[in-house]
């Protein structure tokens, strides 16, 4: 399948069937921590980059292949920013018409200042926007948005959406050592969170290869400080071990390519996720590398496989 993947386990969303409506790295941010690398297709304009009906049809087909108890959530999560797809609202509405599985949208939240984007998301069951900073200065430094996007627009959009949305609003914070884990930065962030009033705050950690090599995971002292300042609404989200049912129509090579395109993984993680022997996984990775579909990126002496299209700054290349 081209736009649908999984189900994959998530500590927040259980068994999640992912729906990816955006071409690789089409985004209006260029976050220093993004595990998919630099934004190669910067845009702030909504368009139907992939035919809406094609995505709906593929999602419907994927849902039909699974029992009702095998999927907990349908999750729009892009190789770029999902709200840049002009048909997102139609997709959500179409899925609601033929399934009772709840729908989540993982978004950077940058376009929530637009009324039409907020309307498109209103029928979702959960929306997970990103809030990495409590000030304009840190917003620009961490998320590196396009010039027409400001921190005031980001917060104003989230605030307006909170007033209109009746589903679950879960803010996502990427905590980065030396950037937003100080007491001052966390107090600024807490003030904005208090204004928005989300149902939950998820603290994520940059454990996979980030766009900028110097990005590091905060120490335990910083994590305790974050929990204390952000309050009971906040929780640290640790990555779940991924397991994937290939189904009848997916080859091992296609499954690996689809996985690492959206989620960089080590050979060991792929072996566990796909329930294949390490030799078979290695052979498939070599095949994908030779065909120019994947690449290796080293992070803390670990070799991660990711899409060949991903661009990382100042990363060491794996030697072969």
- The per-residue pLDDT for range 16-72, each reduced to its tens digit, is 899 999 998 899 999 999 988 889 889 999 999 899 999 999 999 999 998 878 899
Question: Do 202 and 103 have their domain in common?
Answer: yes
pLDDT recorded at residue 243: 53
Residue 312 located in a structural domain: no
pLDDT recorded at residue 314: 52
Last residue of a domain, one of 236, 265, 297: 236
The percent of residues above 70 in pLDDT, for the chain, comes to 93
Indicate if the pLDDT at residue 273 is higher than 90: no
Burial (0-12, 13-18, 19+ Cβ within 10 Å), 241: exposed
Show the domain range for 271. Answer: 252-307
Residue 67 located in a structural domain: yes
Residue 243 located in a structural domain: no
Last residue of a domain, one of 236, 260, 291: 236
pLDDT recorded at residue 293: 82
Q: What is the pTM for the complete model shown?
A: 0.85
pLDDT category at 244 given cuts 50, 70, 90 is: low
What is the C-alpha to C-alpha distance for residues 2 and 223, in angstroms, rounded to an integer?
A: 37
Question: Do 214 and 257 have their domain in common?
Answer: no
pLDDT category at 160 given cuts 50, 70, 90 is: very high
Spatial CA neighbour of 152 closest among 135, 138, 127, 165: 135
pLDDT category at 76 given cuts 50, 70, 90 is: very high
Residue 314 located in a structural domain: no
User: Residue 275's domain is classified under what CATH number?
Assistant: 1.10.10.10
pLDDT category at 250 given cuts 50, 70, 90 is: low
Question: Do 100 and 228 have their domain in common?
Answer: yes
Indicate if the pLDDT at residue 320 is higher than 50: no
If one counts every other C-beta atom within 10 angstroms of the C-beta of residue 246, the result is 13
**What radius of gyration do the chain's Cα atoms show?**
19
Question: Do 17 and 112 have their domain in common?
Answer: yes
Which CA distances in Å does 277 have to 121, 273, 283?
Answer: 41, 11, 10
Q: Worst-scoring range by mean pLDDT, 92-101, 181-190, 250-259?
A: 250-259
- Which one has a higher pLDDT value, 97 or 237? 97
pLDDT digits (tens, 9 = 90+) for 182-241: 999 999 999 999 999 999 999 999 988 899 989 999 999 999 999 999 999 999 987 655
Find the helix or strand (DSSP H, E) in which 170 lies: strand 168-174
If one counts every other C-beta atom within 10 angstroms of the C-beta of residue 71, the result is 21
Name the one residue in this structure whose structure tokens are 């779940």: 240
């Amino acid at each position: 399948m081209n736009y649908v993947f999984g189900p994959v386990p998530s500590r927040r969303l259980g068994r999640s069937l992912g729906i990816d409506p955006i071409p690789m790295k089409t985004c209006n941010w260029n976050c220093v921590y993004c595990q998919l690398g630099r934004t190669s297709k910067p845009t702030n304009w909504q368009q139907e980059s992939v035919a809406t009906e094609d995505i709906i049809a593929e999602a419907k087909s994927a849902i039909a292949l699974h029992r009702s108890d095998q999927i907990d959530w349908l999750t729009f999560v892009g190789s770029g920013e999902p709200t840049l797809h002009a048909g997102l609202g139609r997709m959500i509405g179409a899925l609601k018409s033929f399934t009772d599985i709840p729908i989540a949208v993982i978004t950077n939240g940058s376009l929530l200042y637009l009324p039409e984007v907020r309307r498109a998301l209103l029928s979702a069951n959960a929306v997970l926007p990103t809030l990495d900073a409590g000030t304009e200065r840190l917003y620009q430094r961490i998320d590196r948005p396009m010039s027409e996007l400001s921190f005031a627009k980001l917060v104003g959009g989230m605030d307006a959406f909170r007033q209109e949305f009746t589903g679950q609003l879960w803010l996502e914070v990427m905590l980065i050592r030396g950037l937003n884990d100080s007491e001052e930065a966390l107090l600024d962030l807490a003030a904005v969170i208090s204004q928005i009033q989300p149902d939950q705050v998820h603290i994520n950690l940059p454990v996979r290869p980030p766009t900028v090599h110097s990005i590091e995971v905060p120490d335990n002292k910083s994590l305790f400080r974050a929990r204390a300042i952000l309050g009971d609404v906040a929780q640290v989200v640790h990555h779940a071990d991924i397991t994937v049912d290939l189904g009848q129509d997916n080859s091992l090579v296609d499954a690996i390519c689809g996985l690492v395109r959206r989620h960089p993984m080590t050979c060991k993680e792929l072996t566990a996720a796909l329930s294949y022997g390490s030799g078979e996984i290695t052979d498939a990775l070599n095949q994908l590398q030779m065909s120019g579909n994947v690449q290796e990126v080293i992070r803390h002496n670990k070799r991660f496989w990711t899409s060949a299209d991903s661009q990382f700054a100042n990363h060491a290349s794996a030697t072969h």
